[in-house]
Structure 1
Amino acid sequence: MKQIAFLTVLLFSLTSIAQNYDFGKVSKEEIEEKFHPLDSSANAAYLYKNRNTFFEYSDSEGFQLITEVQERIKIYTQEGFQYATKPIGLYKSNSNKEKVTSIKAYTYNFVDGKIEETKLKKDGIFEEERSKYWDETKFTMPNIKEGAVIEYKYRITSPFYSNVDEFVFQHDIPVKKLEAKFEAPEYFNFKVNAKGYLPVIPKTERKRDRIRLTNKDRNLGQTTNISSSEIEFDKNCSYYELTNIPALKEEPYVNNINNYRASVKYELSYTKFPNSPMKFYSTTWEDVVKTIYESPNFGTELNKSGYYEDDIDALVGAVSDPMKRIALIYNFVKSRVKWNGYYGKYCNDGVRKAYKEQTGNVAEINLMLTSMLRHAGLNANPVLVSTRTNGVPLFPTREGYNYVISCVEILDGTVLLDATCEYGIPNVLPYRTLNWEGRIIRKQGSSALVSLYPKENSSQTISMMANLDKNGTIEGACRSVKTSHNALSYREKYNKANEADFLEKLENKYNGLEVSDFKVSNAVDLGKPVMESYKFVKESQADIVGDKIYFSPLFFLRTKENPFKLEKREFPIDFGYPSGSKYMINITLPEGYKVESAPESGAFMLPDGLGAFKYVISANESKVQLVIETSINQPIISAMYYETLKEYFKQLIEKENEQIVLTKV
């Protein structure tokens, strides 16, 4: 078997070396390939991926950033059809915008012994405005079938040379061969930030290049003299060449898989043009904070107050307790101004308009909230946040943060607030913002890191009364009480859903549970835990073998599958927030039966106080009582504990699935 595997890899390597990657030179072997030689589970694969980013100069536009892309993708299965659609994001700001041109694309299939190519037509290319700052050009390849190979290329022209798109080397599907190049004139100094677990080392060199300048001079307004000159300069070149890049696959409890994707980001540090002073861009977090704070769409908006002063004075004038003032203002903003769904650390239309029209983006709502809290005499400041989808800001860049919340510093610590979250409460932020640390910006311009995670565990307490009959059917009542983030999550799902649909999902979650008398208390009373209760009937909850009955005392509530299946893991385990659960189960046994054997009580813990499991059971002639308590006490657990955590869940599942045995009296 080892010899066969070696030969497969060897043949694959030789094929890769001989492959022609010129555009349009798709081979019969590529189309006939049935599965990826090194990853048979792959639904698709990049056969070739090429990106070339460089600077181009023109007299009319100056320097512009050019990116040329060529990609060849093999579609193995129907699940791989998703890779036949290519979205291209294009940034814009005021009148400046990125443009995509020279789109050329073909689909290749093998039909009747010949390669059949289908060209992408213009009517298959769609343009859409995604937001104030982003447009999107998207195309879907024609004539997609299992086994097809698609290939496309295009060119992006960008006036935003300070913002070079990240070079992404690792994807959700494997990459057979990747080539990338970045060239920048000596006038541009870039800092290189790499992330991920793959070793990515470029080959670098300096080359000479030149640009031609054209001058036009009018002679007494009658004729135009045209002259030209050339300027020679050095340019810094980086070349990347990688082969057989494995797919980066999603794993349970990963914050954002892109945090661990092999990539390189070129961040502009400064420019130095001939006969001009150096211009510095963001190079430290202090520079980033200063740039953001001095923006008219941030600091200037934060300092506006005239539009709300009378309303806030009337609201809190007679209240002296700081926490009550915070709560009053926080709830006022939540009820007054609704979130329009747009993220952003900068205001779009401004806080005055948001207040007047009662709708705004994240920045407008939370900068408004911060300003109101300051007006009320509280030590409030904005906190820059990178959402979970935006990734962890590992390096100081202005794009590192895409969101802003509010923070009040009091004697006992900090109170974090996000008024875009309808069901949020102080220090319970929406899940999208629970991403390591935020950066608080104080009035004097200093900044500091602040943890975004709650200090107290969210709790869930489930009480169940169940009557088990001799046929293995249970009926009874269940009640759950949730606090903090567990309550926030429940309210968002329940309050925004049709109750019939919500009930259907509940019944499907437990595989055919029959629910009646369903009730939710405190769905909108955020000062209290949310409570769900219902009656239920569930068949086939015990195995009947002769005169014995076997069942798990947790019934349908037990954990059945370990979420951690990999042998090893390189990524931290991200639970989002610390939490604890308590199950209290009371079971009435069927008449004529008694307990022959039951699991033993027991407990085990994760090291360093990371978590614990406790199982306490007792039984008499007619009843069984079970109490289970579990906790995960840290929102993020290092990958060094992965094997221990995997074993913890294995033991937890085994314990929850241990059975009680009943026998006839």
Structure 2
Amino acid sequence: MRPFYIYLLLFCSLISFGQEADYRISAISPELLKNANAVYRLDEMKIHLNSSRDMRSTFKQVVTVLNELGNKHANMSVHYDKERKVKSIEAYVYDSNGKELERIKRKDFQDVSAVDGFSLYVDDRRLYYNYTPVQYPYTLEFSYEVETSDTGLFPSWYFLPGYTASVEKSIYSVSYGNESLKPIVKEHHLEGIEVTRTETPGITSFTARNIPAVKKESLSPSFRKIAPKVAIRLPKFHFKGYDAAIDSWDDLGVWIHNHLLKEQTELPEHTKTEIRGLMKGVTDPLEKAKIVYDYVQENTRYISVQIGIGGFKPISAMEVDRVKYGDCKGLSNYAKALLSVVGVDAYYVHVQAGPDKVDFEEDFADLVQGNHAILAIPYNDMYYWVDCTSQVHPFGFVGDFTDDRKVLVVKPDGGEIVKTVSYLNKENHQHTRARLSLNAQGGIQAEVSIQTRGTQYDNHFKIEDDTPEEIDKHYKEYWGNINNLKLESYSFKNDQDSVLFEENVTLIAENYASNSGERILFTPNAFNRNDYVPNRHRTRKLPFEIQRGYMDEDEFEIVLPEGYSIEAMPSPVKVETEFGHYLTELIHEEESGTILYKRSLFIKQGDYSKEKYKAYRAFRKQVAANDNAKIVLIRSKT
């Protein structure tokens, strides 16, 4: 019996040790509190592979939330489906002294559909609990255990979860029953942190300690670009009923095509007949593609579903045609099926979408990369990129959601990493013209025309569908430098073929200029002032990036009030830097009593070292100062 008592004693000791974990805020190193809204006391994931069809994961996270901004780190949620089962789940909440405030049992978690109200996703569910803090700081301890037959998804492990969060201890380990299950590991940005990698027969593990928070600075890179992390994948795995052996993106492309896409493109005959009928007299493949795109926009609606929900296999085209809705996977596959009916090739594409550009890693083929699906249509030795989820964007225009990044194009004979269309620098163009009449009381009447292309088009064109009240509010905010602004009329022209949006606005405003005795002071740049100056950082820690760049060109004709002449006018400005340029010119036409104000601002896309930040900030200060420069008029003596 002695071994039993020894085992019991050890077991009780382990329980006691777990209960005595010190969650007091006073136990946190001051270095980890600096710049932090939350401190991860423990962030742990342990994965055990019994076979390529049997994986068990245990997760435990202990987070001390220091203030309201840290609440986003207090996440208690886990997804499950018919392949992924939640075996256990619980949570505890502690106060600043480490005293237990609340225990949250499995029965307390909400069990809801992952996509509520949409019958196509009935197998996908989520357990979650929303904790409402009653005090700060507090500590949340959250743990769960899941088992699954899907072994194709190993999300990257981030040793630091984001800006303004620090970590006391982070553990990530994968154990496996035999060498054939040994995962492939790729490390990212581990230099500079305290991390230990351990490789023993049957286990690969990483342990990191005492990682201070990184403060987000103006124009900081996307955190994913600098975060310390490891990516892990299995060369042989099982996913949603299919086995796979993957060494490259080419392999993965073939597998996705053959197992996830191949049998999903069948359509009902009446839809085939309808789509063929729309092509009468049309022979050009690109024109056919535009017609199909319009058809999908008009006949379906998009529902937002994370790409992993429902697996990576899209809902069949037949089902989308029946219910008239789908997620990015379903709508892309549906459009691809319709294009096939009319003889147009199109390829299914996985992309990491979002405002931050994130590339697929060319040397690391896995299912985890990508959160969105679009189409690539080959035409004249180039690809037209089409986002089938948009109800409003022109054909072939994807905006800043999926532009300028490496993506996986899935073809029948393999996968290919390709870069999407880029909207960079002068392609993101805005041209503003105006005729502005200034009266002796300082009021103005103006006619303004704004033309936008590229991502600037994306920022403007949606206004055409706004209500009059929303349009009025928009311009009062857009020209916030003009007090007492009143719109008299407006019209819009959206040239979707050229991806060019034009706004024509007439307005009046009292007291735009300042009267001072016999003088009038006013800013000639009435309609495109750029006051942006990035924050000052005494000791900049991070590089900075300008993701896309843009070009603004302005021409304003200013009609001066009768009886006034120019006393002072800003000199021409010409600033050339590696970050772009800024040019202004004012031309006084005495005969017509007008001033022509010309301005050009070019901001250049690029990644820049922290040492150059001060120079960039100085450039933007010059722009802001000169955009606010004033002209002084004086009443003529009679």
TM-score band, normalised by shorter chain: 0.7 to 0.9
Matched-pair contact (CA < 8 Å) for 1:437–1:449: yes
Matched-pair contact (CA < 8 Å) for 2:79–2:114: no
Write out per-residue CA displacement over residues 309-366 of structure 1, whole angstroms, 9 at most, x where no aligned residue: 4333322242233443332333233223332333549454311222243322223322
1:105 CA drift (Å): 0.7
Partner in structure 1 of residue 360 of structure 2:
393
Partner in structure 2 of residue 340 of structure 1:
303
Matched-pair contact (CA < 8 Å) for 2:317–2:337: no
User: Among 253, 259, 279, which residue is 1:289 paired with?
Assistant: 253
1:25 CA drift (Å): 4.2
AA at the equivalent of 1:236: I
User: Among 625, 629, 634, which residue is 1:658 paired with?
Assistant: 629
User: Among 257, 264, 282, which residue is 1:319 paired with?
Assistant: 282
Matched-pair contact (CA < 8 Å) for 1:105–1:152: yes
1:125 CA drift (Å): 3.4
User: Among 487, 495, 499, which residue is 2:468 paired with?
Assistant: 499
Matched-pair contact (CA < 8 Å) for 1:387–1:435: no
1:235 aligns with 2:178: no
1:427 aligns with 2:396: yes
AA at the equivalent of 2:585: V
User: Among 102, 114, 135, which residue is 1:145 paired with?
Assistant: 135
Question: CA, structure 1 residues 618+54, in 2 after alignment: closer, same or farther (shift >3 Å)?
Answer: same
User: Among 563, 568, 585, which residue is 1:616 paired with?
Assistant: 585
Matched-pair contact (CA < 8 Å) for 1:104–1:152: yes
1:176 CA drift (Å): 4.8
Question: CA, structure 1 residues 201+416, in 2 after alignment: closer, same or farther (shift >3 Å)?
Answer: same
SS at match of 1:519: strand
1:555 aligns with 2:522: no
Question: CA, structure 1 residues 458+604, in 2 after alignment: closer, same or farther (shift >3 Å)?
Answer: same
Write out per-residue CA displacement over residues 275-333 of structure 1, whole angstroms, 9 at most, x where no aligned residue: xxxx86433211221221112x4132247685644333322242233443332333233
1:243 CA drift (Å): 0.8
1:71 CA drift (Å): 0.8
Partner in structure 2 of residue 125 of structure 1:
109
Question: CA, structure 1 residues 283+488, in 2 after alignment: closer, same or farther (shift >3 Å)?
Answer: same
Question: CA, structure 1 residues 444+82, in 2 after alignment: closer, same or farther (shift >3 Å)?
Answer: closer
Give the percent of matched residue pairs that are identical in Structure 1 and Structure 2: 12
Partner in structure 2 of residue 573 of structure 1:
545
User: Among 143, 159, 166, which residue is 1:169 paired with?
Assistant: 159
Structure 1 Cα separation of the partners of residues 498 and 403 of structure 2: 21
Matched-pair contact (CA < 8 Å) for 2:408–2:417: yes
1:136 CA drift (Å): 3.1
Partner in structure 1 of residue 264 of structure 2:
301
Structure 2 Cα separation of the partners of residues 128 and 250 of structure 1: 38
Question: How many positions carry a matched residue from both structures?
Answer: 593
1:268 aligns with 2:234: yes
1:120-519 maps to which residues of 2 (within 5 A)? 120-122=103-105, 125-131=109-115, 132=121, 135-141=125-131, 144-146=134-136, 148-159=137-148, 160-170=150-160, 171-187=162-178, 188-196=181-189, 199-200=192-193, 202-205=195-198, 234-247=201-214, 249=216, 251-252=218-219, 254=221, 256-270=222-236, 281-295=245-259, 297-302=260-265, 308-342=271-305, 344=307, 346=312, 348-388=314-354, 391-394=358-361, 395-411=364-380, 413-445=382-414, 447-454=416-423, 457-470=427-440, 472-492=442-462, 494-495=464-465, 497-511=466-480, 512-519=483-490
Please, which moves more after superposition, 124-133 or 186-195?
Answer: 124-133
1:64-143 maps to which residues of 2 (within 5 A)? 64-75=55-66, 77-83=67-73, 85-92=74-81, 95-99=82-86, 101-109=88-96, 117-122=100-105, 125-131=109-115, 132=121, 135-141=125-131
Structure 2 Cα separation of the partners of residues 143 and 457 of structure 1: 47
Partner in structure 2 of residue 51 of structure 1:
44
SS at match of 1:157: strand
Structure 2 Cα separation of the partners of residues 639 and 121 of structure 1: 47
Structure 1 Cα separation of the partners of residues 377 and 23 of structure 2: 63
Matched-pair contact (CA < 8 Å) for 1:197–1:260: no
Matched-pair contact (CA < 8 Å) for 2:402–2:420: no
Write out per-residue CA displacement over residues 495-520 of structure 1, whole angstroms, 9 at most, x where no aligned residue: 2x443134224323444552323423
Structure 1 Cα separation of the partners of residues 231 and 78 of structure 2: 17
1:647 CA drift (Å): 4.5
1:403 CA drift (Å): 2.7
AA at the equivalent of 1:287: D
1:600 aligns with 2:571: yes
Structure 2: tracts of 5 or more residues without a match = 1-15, 116-120
SS at match of 2:153: coil
Structure 2 Cα separation of the partners of residues 100 and 574 of structure 1: 46
Matched-pair contact (CA < 8 Å) for 2:431–2:552: yes
Matched-pair contact (CA < 8 Å) for 2:266–2:318: no
SS at match of 2:503: strand
Structure 2 Cα separation of the partners of residues 514 and 204 of structure 1: 63
Structure 2 Cα separation of the partners of residues 646 and 664 of structure 1: 39
1:152 CA drift (Å): 1.0
Matched-pair contact (CA < 8 Å) for 1:541–1:551: yes
Q: Which has the higher contact order (CA 8 A, sep 6+)?
A: 2
Partner in structure 1 of residue 3 of structure 2:
none
Write out per-residue CA displacement over residues 91-139 of structure 1, whole angstroms, 9 at most, x where no aligned residue: 43xx2224162413123156xxxx7641144576333322337533333
Matched-pair contact (CA < 8 Å) for 1:476–1:536: yes
1:48 CA drift (Å): 1.1
Partner in structure 2 of residue 5 of structure 1:
none
Structure 2 Cα separation of the partners of residues 353 and 62 of structure 1: 29
Write out per-residue CA displacement over residues 129-177 of structure 1, whole angstroms, 9 at most, x where no aligned residue: 223375333334455223x231313122231444334322222323151
Question: CA, structure 1 residues 627+359, in 2 after alignment: closer, same or farther (shift >3 Å)?
Answer: same
Matched-pair contact (CA < 8 Å) for 1:304–1:371: yes
Write out per-residue CA displacement over residues 520-569 of structure 1, whole angstroms, 9 at most, x where no aligned residue: 32359666733333333445644555544443211363111224655657
Partner in structure 2 of residue 13 of structure 1:
none
TM-score, scaled relative to structure 1: 0.77
Structure 1: tracts of 5 or more residues without a match = 1-19, 208-233, 273-278
Partner in structure 1 of residue 118 of structure 2:
none
Structure 1 Cα separation of the partners of residues 184 and 407 of structure 2: 23
Matched-pair contact (CA < 8 Å) for 1:457–1:579: yes
SS at match of 2:383: strand
TM-score, scaled relative to structure 2: 0.80
Partner in structure 2 of residue 30 of structure 1:
26
1:583 CA drift (Å): 1.7
Matched-pair contact (CA < 8 Å) for 1:480–1:531: yes
AA at the equivalent of 1:333: V
Structure 2 Cα separation of the partners of residues 62 and 402 of structure 1: 24
Structure 1 Cα separation of the partners of residues 20 and 490 of structure 2: 62
AA at the equivalent of 2:250: E
